[in-house]
Amino acid sequence: MADEHEGHRATTEEMRRSGETLNETGEEVLPRQAATVILLRGGAETLEVLLVQRTHAARFMAGVWVFPGGAVDAHEGEGDEAHRAAAVRELEEEAAVTGITARELVKFSRWITPREVSVRFDTHFFLAPAPDDVAPAVDGDECIDLGWFTPRGALDAYEAGELPLVFPTIKHLQQFEPFATAEALIAHARGREVLPVLPKLVMEGEVARVLLPGEAGYED
């Protein structure tokens, strides 16, 4: 994997498989509102995150391992309450995890899909400690597998070609790695100022380079 300060690189074939096709219309696509729950377990002892694998038949992010999440439904309204409601609903639909309320979620980040991509989301990421008796399960339709991973374990599996991940997931795992426990990560998030992150996509032949604000080339 490329150094994080040089941007993430992906071939156009990798982008096609994940559904991240380039926008060639010349008109910017408005991102759809979405929410994600990063479920944590380990308490004061360790840190593991729940990832689910999307079906290979999906039009978007096929076969990719992600944090449970999805688009905000119209009936859920707008604003923070809507994002929290959608996050709780998606966690139940994709991983059969119940017992977590919207007010328990801790906002961690907000990522907006690059303007250069045709399918865009404005995704709000929340942390939540897993209930003691949690037993996640997938429906075998939208999601086909799941697993608990330490941040480093997931990154190592990705770098070995064993765990397909996308850029936002990779960056979140990198941010989580310095924290030894789930409690430490949640405590950090409670005092975190959440600002929107808008990556930029730069094509270099058949390779797309994803840049973050502050990285060399982002303002070019």
| Inside any domain, residue 217 | no
| Inside any domain, residue 216 | no
Q: Identify the CATH number of the domain in which residue 38 sits.
A: 3.90.79.10
147 vs 116, higher pLDDT: 147
Residue 65 structure tokens: 């391992």
pLDDT in tens, 170-179: 999 999 999 9
- For the whole model, what pTM was predicted? 0.89
Number of domains in the chain: 1
| Inside any domain, residue 118 | yes
| Inside any domain, residue 96 | yes
| Inside any domain, residue 220 | no
The mean pLDDT value of the chain amounts to 89
CA separation for the pair 23, 45 (Å, rounded)? 45
pLDDT in tens, 94-109: 999 999 999 999 999 9
Range of the domain at 123: 4-211
- Strands laid side by side in the 8-11 sheet: 8-11, 207-211, 200-204
CB atoms within 10 A of CB 22: 15
CA separation for the pair 88, 69 (Å, rounded)? 9
pLDDT in tens, 22-80: 666 678 889 999 999 999 999 999 999 999 999 999 888 889 999 999 999 999 999 99
> The dihedral of CA 114, 119, 120, 121: what is its sign?
negative
